[in-house]
Structure 1
Amino acid sequence: MLDIADELNRWVEQGRGFAVATVVAVGGSAPRPPGAALAVDSEGTAVGSVSGGCVEGAVYDLCVQALQDGETVRERFGYSDEDAFAVGLTCGGVVEVLVTPVAADGDASPSPSSDGNARAGGPGREVIAAALSAAAGPVGAGPVGAGAAAGRGEATALARVARGPAELLGRALLVRSDGSYEGDLGGHPELDRTVVHETRALLNAGRTGTFDLSEDGSHCGAALTVFVESSVPPPRMIVFGAIDFAAALVRVGNFLGYHVTVCDARTVFATRARFPDADDIVVDWPHRYLERTETDGRTVLCVLTHDAKFDVPLLERALRLPVAFVGAMGSRRTHEDRLARLREVGLTERELALLHSPIGLDLGARTPEETALSIAAEIVAVRQGGTGVSLSRTREPIHRDGGAVESYDAVA
């Protein structure tokens, strides 16, 4: 549900009651990954999606029922089910959703307990409200771009019992990166401690996934499956070179949910007027900025300067960082000259192999917008393990989990 934290946080602030269905397991060619959510409030308003349209109607009805009876349920939709065509799941996938009601502000049913969870087994308003507030960030922050997801707030994770006894199903813990937490799963005293430890590991890796435990918190047996949604600040895209192609790439980066920084040493070009959609504009030599800024394993670096005096010292450092992607613009001749210069400053062939240059996929791009699409497509392919080949010419699975989430088989 943290993928729609902005909307749900507003519902919480308005005192609305709602039910939220979250995808907790997928298999085959499932349309949306674990963590995708659809929520329905007491007036019938819906936000989010669990299947891109396949089973939305059936899941909507489940949310309405949960609002009425206050019960948390887990439901499976699969291509082998007799009613697969009736609900519209014809893509050959399997989707399991956890539907949990969140009572309206002041509503006593289901009644909350002192731990912030509801006595009937589902998560209480206090735990959900804290998780949504943490994931959504400051009120009024708004999405960075059209495709920006929740995660502008603090790093936080919501752990919920997705499989287990009825009295524990849906109960939740909010876990923060420092190990502090809110809520209580209501089981063995060691259960919370183990869940916090496992959840924190997933949160630190920025992952959404599952793990199995016994009811006493040990790893012997698998009476419970705990589903963890991690919400972390958006990944960074740093674009070096304040050119027209960079302006287009900034817009695409925003659409993909990146926090986008433009860096150029030339004051006249690195301006807010030229890059109104950038989150940050930095006037500095690219290699100096890269040395002092924070990067991580999700960061993508796009070098569009195609000028040796900028490129070489920048790439010398970039190719030795544990980032997700390093790409550089330029002709094939520029690329060969760039490689020779980088060898001269000591980069190894293994380090040079990390460089995506000329940057982008072969789309026949000409305009800045087309080129930005080409670059973004390569970034997605590299990060998700895609081939870049037309789907009509490959037999590979359409959806890859890339190790980021657990598959249906792992949690069924």
Structure 2
Amino acid sequence: MRRMCSVLLCACALLLLLTGDAQARPTFACGGNVTGDSGVIGSQGYPGVYPPNTKCVWRITVPEGKVVVLTFRFLDLESDNLCRYDYVDVYSGHVNSQRLGRFCGTFRPGALVSTGNKMLVQMVSDANTAGSGFLAVFSAAHPHERGDQYCGGRLMKPSGTFKTPNWPEKDYPAGVTCSWHIIAPKNQIIEVKFEKFDVERDNYCRYDYVAIFNGGEINDAKRIGKFCGDTPPAPVFSEGNQLLIQFLSDLSLTADGFIGHYKFRPKKFPTTTMPPATTTQPTTTRPIPLKYSAALCQQKCKRKGTPESHYCSSNFVITGTVITAVMRGGSMYATISIINVYKEGSLAIQQAGKTMSTKIVILCKKCPSVRRGLNYIFMGQTDEEGRGMIAPHHFVMAFKAKNQRAFNVLKTKRC
């Protein structure tokens, strides 16, 4: 209750700042040390355009025994699928701490919660800027506890259990971040299984989710999977002796939560590591690997059938814009900015802000023929890594906005 009150006080104070006289608005500098029970931080010069080639760091400290709750009220940075150019990083702690997330574009994340009384916010811009930056409020809150254990922690015993706060008596709380860092001996790996799983469902797990990473830090390049929904993920195995499990809930809907178990395994134990994923569970169909062969590309290139006739046999169905197209050998490797998803299957989809993208491989670079910058509907299969695989016999055609209504009927098609 106290936490909610403090958040509301911050919001009211912020509203006064935003609607009040221009002379009453604070001037935001490039970073600084910020202390107290609550406060407001913003990018340099907000609400004007933020300056180029800058790196600003805010170190937030709330009273001992509390945690920091940070909520973005406004976010407008140069958009990029991987947030490579202009971005805001948020860390739990000031030094050698875990990153809670990297953000760009205009899609605001849910509330971010530190594990202690310190949080670090860092904004980086390159030579080309675009947007007004960000405005965020922070407040001190009581940590979610279960007995004497805070949510998350370091796990080093040969086996153990981890679960959401309040499990199993009631739903997990809103606005909570938990990170379990599991460390095995050097010659062992870690197996993780979820016994029960119920996390707010969203097609792209944007709000509440569990993310699992190889190693001891939050790093998208090392992410094994991102999960939500009400079906337990398949067992996960680490590549090395460390694994990080992150659970995040925003300030809106909650659910039952989860209970999971881990145990150490010998390094030679055969693994079936999950492919990288940002999808809900379960996937509708299993990946079907496709092997490239010269004979495949000698077929006459002619599209056959209709979207309706290919829908059920396809693992994924999307519309999107070709952003990049690179030739390697006899195939084309493309990045697709997604317009709409009609059937997700086991396709690995990445998200940064409101932008979603995926990787596909045109096995025969000239069949079907696609060009960078144009929109298409893609219907195909996926490989073991979640990449889309398009062969000559799959269905690809140019997509125009006027066709949107016709394609929407595909979502209702029963297979």
TM over 0.5: no
TM-score range normalised by the length of the shorter chain: under 0.3
Q: Which protein is richer in helix relative to its size? A: 1
TM-score by length of 2: 0.26
TM-score by length of 1: 0.27
Q: Which protein is richer in strand relative to its size? A: 2
